[in-house]
Amino acid sequence: MYDSGKILVGIIIFIGLFTSPIWYDLASGESSNKPNIILPTNEDMKECVASTEYMRASHMDLLNEWRDEVVREGNRIYTSPNGKEFEMSLTKTCTNCHYNKKEFCDQCHDYLGVTPYCWDCHVEPPKTESE
Amino acid sequence: MLEQVLKGTKNYWRWIFFLSAIILLGFFYYLEQTSYGLGITGLSRNVTWGFYIAQFTFLVGVAASGVMVVLPYYLHDFKAFGKLTILGEFLAISSVAMCMLFIFVDMGQPFRIVNVFLYPSPESPMFWDTIALGGYLLLNVIISRVVLDSERKSIAPPKWIKPVIILSIPWAISIHTVTAFLYSGLAAKPFWMTAVLAPRFLASAFSSGPALLILMCLILKRITKFDPGKEAIQKLAIIITYAMAANIFFILMEIFTAYYSGIPEHIHHFQFLFVGLDGNTSLVPWMWISTILALSALIFLLVPSARRNEKTLFGICLAIFASIWIDKGLGMVVTGFIPTSLSEVADYWPTIPEILISLGVWAIGFFLITIFYKIALSVRREIVR
Amino acid sequence: MDENRRKFLKLTGLGALGLTAAKYADLFGNATPTKLAFDDSDTKIRFAMVIDLKKCLAKEDCILCIDACHKTHNVPDFGNPKDEIKWIWKEEYEHAFPNKENYYLKEELKHADVPLFCNHCDNPPCTKVCPTKATWKRDEDGIVMMDWHRCIGCRYCMAACPYGSRSFNWRDPRTHIKEISDDFPTRTTGVVEKCTFCDERIAKDLMPACVEACTEKALIFGDLNNRKSNIRKLLKENFSIRRKPGLGTEPEIYYIV
């Protein structure tokens, strides 16, 4: 191979740049904190709109569906798989129970280095228990 | 072919570094705009489209003008344009790239642009504009690649490229028509809602684009061995003459209908442009400069000795390019908003960040043109033993 | 390049093209149908608003509707006309109705402060031009809605609106909201916003915030398709005007002068 020295150096630099998000995350230290989700403890906050397995895997899809249903179809009532009715709202339903964003949402999001931009517009719940 | 870009004279590299510096400066200010918001520009609730969209509108015209070289050569066998068609196509690619970048920097949420394709809206001229511009870019990339590649191998281009090139001719007309439709269908803006807007756009495109092409050919003639030939330059000059005459004619038609009908809604925009309105005279000197440049350019073009002298032709083409840049850019886009739909006189002037970001995009365009022309000319030198 | 590699790349490219083409299968089914107004036989709702200017002008320097709306919907106040965002605002009569020039206008109306809103037109030019349908006319009640998730901030709708009803977030709105209301989201930099006839309150059978806040009962909101509604009665018995009706937009805000 011609210029093998230059090419190898170039490849190493490229790999370094390409994997830089991993180094950045490791350096920032946030990713070293394993998620420690704290669930709400009230009796009336025991049942979520769907099962834990589904929410773990697809809460983003559910929120997107809710968004389109409410904003574009004007349909605000969601019937959960076990027949219970909820209002499709991030701030009125989800964070009504999961009112501490730092102890719940941020735990996994920070660990994975994800910043969902929902909170640019939707108002974050107050840290204390809501009314 | 691409390796040709890395070989060049000292001046070539000085030019590349100069452009790169402007691009970096523009990019830095674009990051500022991303963090602060579009409020960093001079735009406001009343004047919502300004310098960026003005550049976009002007450059769509320049992009469409490639057809002025392609049409005579491919449809009418005008052999003199043989050396120019590839330059016209490269100019089209660089211009469309700049158009798309100006749209990108003007968007409030640029990373959502994919929504235009996820949720197609056939009622919106903007939807069709993205398709038209994207298609035109694709066409020119394919055509220039195939034609230049064949030239490099000293063989005739494959037969299937001919219909693609023919397609690019009506497509070029359509990109500028669709861009005009963005404006001319809006009942809210009487200054824009005129049937003559699309023809005006085309006429000014076919003057400003070939003018830029002549300017670049004359510069290339000076700094390289490239010479498109006197016949090609003169034919382009004649095309510009007719197009400029049509352009000025259309503007005069607009002024007649506005002033003779006496409708204040129509007159006020021209008043704002040429004498000022309610104390706002921000565009008045610019419009008069544009008018004087346009008229004197046309007069000189009509004088054969001036047209044939390449030194005066250089000045004429500069004048035309500058005149139409003012008229189509600031003169058309901003004036649509002043006075507003509520008959109020608003204010707009681009801010420093806005200008620097725009310069950055222009520098990207010139960067692209430089490397494309470098490739094209290097390929040609390879063939000429 | 190797023949097989070329074939593979060509097939991959065509495949990618085919997948994206499938998205466009319902291309022409997406256009919003324009409904003509005055279709009384419809069981659909057609929301509209009547502004009784006589009652409104009786209370001088009143901005209760504006304050209520902007507070309810977290509309920021930047304190300068360049960045300003307003869903409801007041404009001089001559600018609110620029096509009704009259040097000998009735004295009360000369330079009178008229409250202006989004007209929720029946034939809206703004929804026509939106390239992503981030704004559209709701079929079931005629409200011209906004989807702030989808808006790309191109501001074409702002250019198309003949009434200046739309505002753009030139900066981060959160920095300039006095008191953020928990009940409604804010918007973010780079999207267009406007009055949405309080669709979130209507969903709960409440009146729009501005209507509720008006102490003079000058704002009357209702269903035009319901012949027995209050606004139908008002429009039958009083002379009313609309802004720039000649443009064919069919604005649904009526002013009793």
Contact C145 A71 (CB under 8 A): yes
**A101 touches C at CB < 8 Å:** no
**Look-up: residue for tokens 């649904």?**
C252
User: Is it the case that residue B384 has pLDDT exceeding 60?
Assistant: no
Residue C35 confidence (pLDDT): 43
The residue of chain A nearest to residue C133, with distances taken between CA atoms, is A72
Q: C97, exposed or middle or buried, with CB in 10 Å at 0-12, 13-18, 19+?
A: buried
Give tens-digit pLDDT for B340-375.
999 999 999 999 999 999 999 999 999 999 999 999
Contact C182 A91 (CB under 8 A): yes
Q: State mean pLDDT over B104-123.
A: 95
User: Is it the case that residue A25 has pLDDT exceeding 80?
Assistant: no
In degrees and rounded to multiples of 5, residue B324 shows phi and psi of -75, -30
Long-range pairs of C201-210 with CB within 8 A, sequence gap ≥ 24 = C202/C47, C202/C141, C202/C143, C203/A74, C203/A76, C208/C49, C208/C69, C209/C65, C209/C68, C209/C69, C209/C72, C209/C73, C210/C65, C210/C66, C210/C68, C210/C69, C210/C88, C210/C117
Measured CA to CA in angstroms, residue B62 lies from B22, B94, B176, C55 at distances of 22, 10, 9, 56
Query: Chain A 9-48, CB below 8 Å of chain C: which residues?
Result: none
- Give yes or no for a contact between B27 and B333, defined as CB atoms under 8 angstroms apart: no
Looking at residue B194, its amino acid is T
Hey, what are C27's tokens? 């291309």
Hey, what are B296's tokens? 């004197």
The ipTM of this complex is 0.93
Radius of gyration of chain B (CA): 21
**B156 touches C at CB < 8 Å:** no
Measuring CA to CA, which residue among A71, A115, A112 is closest to residue A90? Answer: A71
- Give yes or no for a contact between A40 and A99, defined as CB atoms under 8 angstroms apart: yes
Q: State mean pLDDT over B102-111.
A: 96
d(CA B296, CA C150): 49
**Look-up: residue for tokens 């394709």?**
B117
Give tens-digit pLDDT for B127-171.
999 999 999 999 999 999 999 999 888 899 999 999 999 999 999
How far C8 CA sits from the closest chain B CA (Å)?
A: 19
Q: For chain A, which chains pass the contact test of at least 3 CB pairs under 8 Å?
A: C
Cβ-Cβ contacts under 8 Å, A76 against chain C: 203
**Out of A122-131, B312-321, C142-151, C168-177, which region has the weakest mean confidence (pLDDT)?**
A122-131
> CA C75, C81, C82 angle in degrees (round to 5)?
95
User: Is it the case that residue A101 has pLDDT exceeding 50?
Assistant: yes
Hey, what are A18's tokens? 């390409």
d(CA B284, CA C166): 29
Q: State mean pLDDT over A112-117.
A: 86
d(CA C14, CA C183): 48
- Give yes or no for a contact between C239 and C36, defined as CB atoms under 8 angstroms apart: no
Report chain C residues touching chain A, CB-CB < 8 A. Answer: 74, 136, 138, 140, 145, 147-149, 180-182, 184-188, 199, 203
Hey, what are C225's tokens? 């398709």
Residue A110 confidence (pLDDT): 83
Measuring CA to CA, which residue among B103, B97, B129 is closest to residue C131? Answer: B129
Q: Beta C167-168 vs C192-193: how paired, if at all? A: antiparallel
Hey, what are C1's tokens? 């390049």
Determine the angle formed by the axes of helices B197-223 and B67-76, rounding to 10 degrees: 90
Instruction: Please compute, for residue B159, the number of CA atoms within 13 A of its CA located in the half-sphere on the CB side.
Output: 0
- The CA dihedral of C60, C62, C65, C69, to the nearest 10 degrees, is 150
How far B204 CA sits from the closest chain C CA (Å)?
A: 23
Residue C27 confidence (pLDDT): 47
d(CA C257, CA C245): 16
Residue B313 confidence (pLDDT): 96
Measured CA to CA in angstroms, residue C99 lies from B79, B146, B263, B296 at distances of 57, 57, 11, 40
- Give yes or no for a contact between B228 and B217, defined as CB atoms under 8 angstroms apart: yes
Give the mutation candidate from A73, A123, A129 for the C interface (greatest C CB count, under 10 A).
A123
Report the percent of chain B where pLDDT is more than 90. 87
d(CA C193, CA C151): 9
Chains B and A touch (3+ CB pairs under 8 A): no
d(CA B152, CA B382): 7
How far C199 CA sits from the closest chain A CA (Å)?
A: 8
Could you tell me where the beta strands, DSSP code E, fall in C12-160? 47-52, 89-92, 113-116, 135-137, 144-146
Measuring CA to CA, which residue among A44, A39, A41 is closest to residue A55? Answer: A39
The residue of chain C nearest to residue A122, with distances taken between CA atoms, is C185
Residue C34 confidence (pLDDT): 42
Task: Say how many C-beta atoms besides its own lie within 10 A of residue B92's C-beta.
Answer: 29
- Give yes or no for a contact between B28 and B365, defined as CB atoms under 8 angstroms apart: no
pTM to 2 decimal places = 0.90
d(CA B350, CA B38): 12
Residue C33 confidence (pLDDT): 41
How far C186 CA sits from the closest chain A CA (Å)?
A: 5
Residue C11 confidence (pLDDT): 83
d(CA B242, CA B250): 12
Q: How confident is the model at residue B175 (pLDDT cuts 50, 70, 90)?
A: very high
Residue A103 confidence (pLDDT): 86
The residue of chain A nearest to residue C185, with distances taken between CA atoms, is A122
Helix then strand count (H, E) for chain A reads 7, 2
Instruction: Please compute, for residue B148, the number of CA atoms within 13 A of its CA located in the half-sphere on the CB side.
Output: 25
Task: Give the pLDDT of chain C (257 residues) as one tens digit per residue.
Answer: 567 788 888 888 888 777 766 665 544 444 444 444 445 555 689 999 999 999 999 999 999 999 999 999 999 999 999 999 999 999 999 999 987 778 888 898 999 999 999 999 999 999 999 999 999 999 999 999 999 999 999 999 999 999 999 999 999 999 999 999 989 999 999 999 999 999 999 999 999 999 999 999 999 999 999 999 999 999 999 999 999 999 999 999 999 99
How far B160 CA sits from the closest chain C CA (Å)?
A: 17
Determine the angle formed by the axes of helices B67-76 and B161-184, rounding to 10 degrees: 140
Contact A120 C145 (CB under 8 A): no
DSSP code for C184: S
**Look-up: residue for tokens 């959502």?**
B112
Helix (H, G, I), strand (E, B) or coil at C176: helix
Measured CA to CA in angstroms, residue B15 lies from A66, B2, B5, B185, B219 at distances of 54, 18, 13, 42, 13
Contact A74 C187 (CB under 8 A): no
Q: Positive or negative, the Cα torsion across C77, C80, C84, C87?
A: positive
The residue of chain C nearest to residue B112, with distances taken between CA atoms, is C152
Chains C and A touch (3+ CB pairs under 8 A): yes
- Mean pLDDT of all residues in chain B? 94
Measuring CA to CA, which residue among C77, C200, B228, B252 is closest to residue A71? Answer: C200
- Give yes or no for a contact between B206 and B98, defined as CB atoms under 8 angstroms apart: no
Query: Which residues on adjacent β-strands are paired with residue C241?
Result: C255
Hey, what are B359's tokens? 């310069």
Please state the separation of Cα B43 from the chain's center in Å.
22
Hey, what are A10's tokens? 């170039």
Query: Chain B 166-195, CB below 8 Å of chain C: which residues?
Result: 182, 185-189
The residue of chain C nearest to residue B42, with distances taken between CA atoms, is C82
Query: Which residues on adjacent β-strands are paired with residue C222?
Result: C48
Domain B2-378: give its CATH architecture: Up-down Bundle (1.20)
User: Is it the case that residue A79 has pLDDT exceeding 60?
Assistant: yes
The residue of chain C nearest to residue A93, with distances taken between CA atoms, is C183
A74 closest CB neighbour out of C138, C181, C188 = C138
**A131 touches C at CB < 8 Å:** no
- Give yes or no for a contact between B40 and B354, defined as CB atoms under 8 angstroms apart: yes
How far B256 CA sits from the closest chain C CA (Å)?
A: 22
Domain C45-256 has CATH 2.20.28.160: no
First to last CA, chain B: 17
Q: What is B246-292 written as a DSSP string?
A: HHHHHHHHHHHHHHHH--HHHHHHHHHHHT-BTTB-TTHHHHHHHHH
Cβ-Cβ contacts under 8 Å, C85 against chain A: none
Better-predicted residue by pLDDT, B211 or B3: B211
How far A58 CA sits from the closest chain C CA (Å)?
A: 19
Measuring CA to CA, which residue among C147, C244, C161 is closest to residue C196? Answer: C147
Q: What is B148-192 written as a DSSP string?
A: HHHHHTTSPPPTTHHHHHHHHHHHHHHHHHHHHHHHHT-TT-TTT
d(CA C102, CA C104): 5
